[in-house]
Amino acid sequence: MTTSATPPSRSVGNQQPPKVQRRDNVLTELYRSALGKKYLMAISGLVLMAYVLIHMIGNFKLFEGEASLNEYAIWLRELGEPLIPEYGAIWATRVILILAFGVHIIAAAQLTRMNQISRGRSRYAERHYAAVDFAGRTMRWTGVIVGLFVIYHLADLTWGVQAVNPEWEYLEVYNNVVASFANPVSAAVYIVANAALGVHLYHGAWSLFQSMGWNSPRFNHWRRWFAIGFALLIAVGNISMPVAVQLGLVG
Amino acid sequence: MDLTLRIWRQPHHDAPGDFVRYQVTDVPREASFLEMLDLLNEQLMARNEEPVVFESDCREGICGTCGVMIDGRPHGPWQNTATCQLHMRAYRDGDEITVEPWRAAGFPVIKDLAVDRSAFDRIIEAGGYISTPTGAAPDANMIPVDKATADRAFEAAACIGCGACVAACPNGAAQLFAGAKVAQLNMLPQGQPERYQRATEVVDTMEAFFGSCTNHGECQAACPKDISVDVIAWLNRDYRKAKLSGARAS
Ligand code: FES
């Protein structure tokens, strides 16, 4: 190996990492490291994945008709009563989701910034990538698409913003969903966003094992299949709903 | 065969670099890529031009000194082959070949194709070793290691520290190198006493120079020793355990 002609720009030398400081607050120390941020990406991603799955399964009640979906909505609202007040479970979920989204997005933005610096300013004149796939390359974009879609989705069905869903009425869950999906523009938004989500999950659901260091020769080959299966399940499942309304099978 | 080389020339670290085209003539098919560069330098010196700086040492694929980016592929077109083991039969008369140095913030260019990889030395100093009392060499097989573990540790130990993983990574990350060095020792009984300290120090040092992994797998594809990204998961696991057990202890 060569001797340093120029000292590395960010020198660490031989100093020992400050152990005392680490004992002071291990979690902040951990978050400061890129790997700590990767763990948070993985865990918040896992939380969001669990939510997306449960959310989709619940929403399949759309196929059972108006009464079924609306009853499910009331059940969610009253979940845990009388121990938990009305809307308690829903708000608890919302808080968890906001935290998970926040962590996922902030860590992603910080890691992106760090990696742009580590990559350096000079670029290869020629570069043939051998392994990276479409999903891996587009994580930031599929992430942004899904993030923007979440805002649209909330405006459409949770907040009932007039400009987005003019027919929206409080508690008329089934009618609101059908009104949204019957609009071809809105249906297209759902389809595109969920396709992007599927692509995002294909890379993310595999990466999280790698980031957390959950690997073993016994199940390593299953990780790829899990990611493919999960991504397909979510994308196809979610897209089936606007498609069913568009085809007149529901509504 | 006669070839056109498009080579990155850069006088020193802070100077701007650029590509220069050279003709190299009468290259034998059996020459290695480095011998072809030697030939170019002889022809340049005969014309009183400055030879191209590139690095090599063993020229048998075991030292890791020789890596350069060849036509956009670390170590060139052959799989699992270091630049010195790439041979000119991979090319045809009249080909143009682009040769560039590794490009990453952690590997500043020293001159032309030579980069400063001393950041790897810092990582090795941080944890790429075991502390053992010296004395008479212990008997072979005194510490039992099962075959599967020995094989996996050996695969990780095949790392020659060439830096192709960093060069290939879109994030300039050194996870494959650091993972190989940590996994090689942490898989074996001899590495256990310093296992978690090793993971922590290696990761902290690595992150001072290099980026972080986004699981693209370019490093694995570029590695001349075919090291698997599984070693990255090892590194990630041991670092997590080290930090969290630290958290519990406090
Ligand atoms: S010169 Fe030693 S690996 Fe190529």
Please report whether residue B87 resides in a domain.
yes
Mean pLDDT value of segment B4-32: 95
Task: Give the chain B residue whose CA is nearest to the CA of A42.
Answer: B214
- The residue among B111, B132, B166 that closes a domain is B111
Token pair in block for residue B2: 């006669």
Token pair in block for residue A148: 């923007």
In chain A, % of residues over pLDDT 70: 90
- The residue among B111, B141, B159 that closes a domain is B111
* Residue A5 scores a pLDDT above 70: no
Name the residue among A37, A124, A132 with its Cβ closest to that of B72: A124
The verdict on a CB contact (< 8 Å) between B104 and A120 is: yes
* Residue A8 scores a pLDDT above 70: no
For residues B229 and B142, the model is more confident at B229
Chosen for mutation from A41, A111, A129, A202 (greatest number of chain B CBs closer than 10 Å) is A129
User: What confidence score (pLDDT) does residue B106 get?
Assistant: 93
The verdict on a CB contact (< 8 Å) between A215 and B233 is: yes
* Residue A6 scores a pLDDT above 80: no
User: What confidence score (pLDDT) does residue B166 get?
Assistant: 97
Q: Ligand 1: distance of its center to the CA of B107 in Å?
A: 18
The verdict on a CB contact (< 8 Å) between A2 and B203 is: no
- Regarding whether B148 and B101 lie in a shared domain, the answer is no
* Residue A173 scores a pLDDT above 60: yes
Q: DSSP secondary structure string, B137-154? A: PPPTTSS---HHHHHHHH
- Regarding whether B141 and B27 lie in a shared domain, the answer is no
Please report whether residue B237 resides in a domain.
yes
In chain B, % of residues over pLDDT 90: 90
- Number of Cβ atoms within 10 Å of the Cβ of A109: 13
DSSP state for residue B87 in the 8-state scheme: B
Q: Collapse the DSSP code of A198 into the 3-class scheme (helix H, G, I; strand E, B; otherwise coil) and give the result.
A: helix
Burial of A167 (0-12, 13-18, 19+ CB in 10 A): middle
Buried b (16+ CB within 10 A) or exposed e, A34-65: bbbbbbbbbbbbebbbeebeeebeebebbeee
User: What confidence score (pLDDT) does residue B139 get?
Assistant: 84
The verdict on a CB contact (< 8 Å) between B170 and A119 is: yes
Q: Residues A137, B209, B10, CA angle at the centre, nearest 5°? A: 85
Atom index in ligand 1 nearest the CA of residue B56 equals 1
Touching check for A131 and chain B: CB below 8 Å? Answer: yes
Please report whether residue B104 resides in a domain.
yes
* Residue A1 scores a pLDDT above 60: no
Please report whether residue B107 resides in a domain.
yes
What's the pLDDT tens digit per position in A227-250? 999 999 999 999 999 999 999 998
Touching check for A37 and chain B: CB below 8 Å? Answer: yes
* Residue A211 scores a pLDDT above 60: yes
* Residue A160 scores a pLDDT above 60: yes
- Regarding whether B100 and B50 lie in a shared domain, the answer is yes
d(CA A32, CA A91): 30
Mutate to test the pocket of ligand 1, among B36, B66, B70, B113 (most ligand atoms within 8 A of CB): B66
- Number of Cβ atoms within 10 Å of the Cβ of A1: 18
Task: Give the chain A residue whose CA is nearest to the CA of B218.
Answer: A131
DSSP state for residue B29 in the 8-state scheme: T
Which of A119, A112, A168 is closest to A139 using CA atoms?
A: A112
d(CA B3, CA B25): 6
Helix (H) or strand (E) holding B69: strand B69-70
> Does domain A37-246 bear CATH number 2.60.40?
no
d(CA A220, CA B230): 9
- Regarding whether B144 and B92 lie in a shared domain, the answer is no
The verdict on a CB contact (< 8 Å) between B240 and A212 is: yes
Mean pLDDT of chain A: 89
Lowest average pLDDT, out of A27-31, B10-14, B209-213, goes to A27-31
d(CA B201, CA B181): 12
**Is the CB of B205 within 6 Å of ligand 1?**
no
User: What confidence score (pLDDT) does residue A15 get?
Assistant: 33
- Number of Cβ atoms within 10 Å of the Cβ of A187: 18
In chain B, % of residues over pLDDT 70: 98
d(CA A115, CA B173): 8
- Regarding whether B121 and B83 lie in a shared domain, the answer is no
- Regarding whether B169 and B93 lie in a shared domain, the answer is no
CATH code of B101's domain? 3.10.20.30
pTM (predicted TM-score): 0.90
Name the residue among A33, A129, A131 with its Cβ closest to that of B220: A131
Token pair in block for residue B190: 């001899």
What's the pLDDT tens digit per position in A40-70? 999 999 999 999 999 999 999 999 999 999 9
Touching check for A86 and chain B: CB below 8 Å? Answer: no
Name the pLDDT band for A29 (thresholds 50, 70, 90). confident
Atom index in ligand 1 nearest the CA of residue B61 equals 3
Distances (CA, A) of A10 to B106, B161, B202: 9, 20, 16
**Which sequence spans correspond to the domains of chain A?**
37-246
The verdict on a CB contact (< 8 Å) between A128 and B73 is: yes
Do residues B5 and B21 make contact, with C-beta atoms less than 8 angstroms apart?
yes
Residue A68: partners with Cβ closer than 8 Å, 6 or more residues away: A61
- The residue among B45, B77, B111 that closes a domain is B111
| Protein residue closest via CA to atom 3 of ligand 1 | B61
Helix (H) or strand (E) holding B97: strand B96-100
The verdict on a CB contact (< 8 Å) between B243 and A36 is: yes
Q: Are strands B73-74 and B3-9 parallel, antiparallel or unpaired?
A: unpaired
- Regarding whether B173 and B153 lie in a shared domain, the answer is yes
User: What confidence score (pLDDT) does residue A221 get?
Assistant: 85
Q: Which long-range contacts (CB under 8 A, 24 or more apart) does A170-177 make?
A: A171/A70, A171/A73, A172/A70, A173/A69, A173/A70, A173/A73, A174/A62, A174/A65, A174/A66, A174/A69, A174/A70, A175/A66, A177/A59, A177/A62, A177/A69, A177/A241, A177/A245
Chosen for mutation from B7, B171, B187, B228 (greatest number of chain A CBs closer than 10 Å) is B171
User: What confidence score (pLDDT) does residue B246 get?
Assistant: 66
User: What confidence score (pLDDT) does residue A18 get?
Assistant: 42
Cβ-Cβ contacts under 8 Å between A and B: the total is: 200
- Regarding whether B181 and B69 lie in a shared domain, the answer is no
| Protein residue closest via CA to atom 1 of ligand 1 | B59
Q: What is the largest CA-CA distance in chain A?
A: 74
Mean pLDDT value of segment A134-144: 94
- Regarding whether B124 and B67 lie in a shared domain, the answer is no
**Is the CB of B65 within 6 Å of ligand 1?**
yes
Q: Which range of residues forms the domain containing residue B210?
A: 117-245
What's the pLDDT tens digit per position in A79-108? 988 899 999 999 999 999 999 999 999 999
Do residues B17 and B5 make contact, with C-beta atoms less than 8 angstroms apart?
no
ipTM: 0.89
DSSP state for residue B70 in the 8-state scheme: E
Name the residue among A11, A130, A210 with its Cβ closest to that of B215: A210
Which of B83, B163, B183 is closest to B120 using CA atoms?
A: B163
Q: DSSP secondary structure string, B190-218? A: GGGGGHHHHHHHHHHHHHHHSB---S--H
- Regarding whether B237 and B122 lie in a shared domain, the answer is yes
Mean pLDDT value of segment B2-24: 95
d(CA B165, CA B176): 6
Do residues B59 and B32 make contact, with C-beta atoms less than 8 angstroms apart?
yes
Burial of A214 (0-12, 13-18, 19+ CB in 10 A): middle
- Regarding whether B90 and B33 lie in a shared domain, the answer is yes
What's the pLDDT tens digit per position in B23-57? 999 999 999 999 999 999 999 999 999 999 999 99
Q: Ligand 1: distance of its center to the CA of A203 in Å?
A: 35
Task: Give the chain B residue whose CA is nearest to the CA of A122.
Answer: B103
Token pair in block for residue A195: 């396709």
Q: Phi, psi (5° rounding) for residue B155?
A: -60, -40
Mean pLDDT value of segment A25-32: 79
Domain count, chain B: 2
d(CA A227, CA A6): 44
User: What confidence score (pLDDT) does residue A91 get?
Assistant: 95
**Is the CB of B104 within 6 Å of ligand 1?**
no
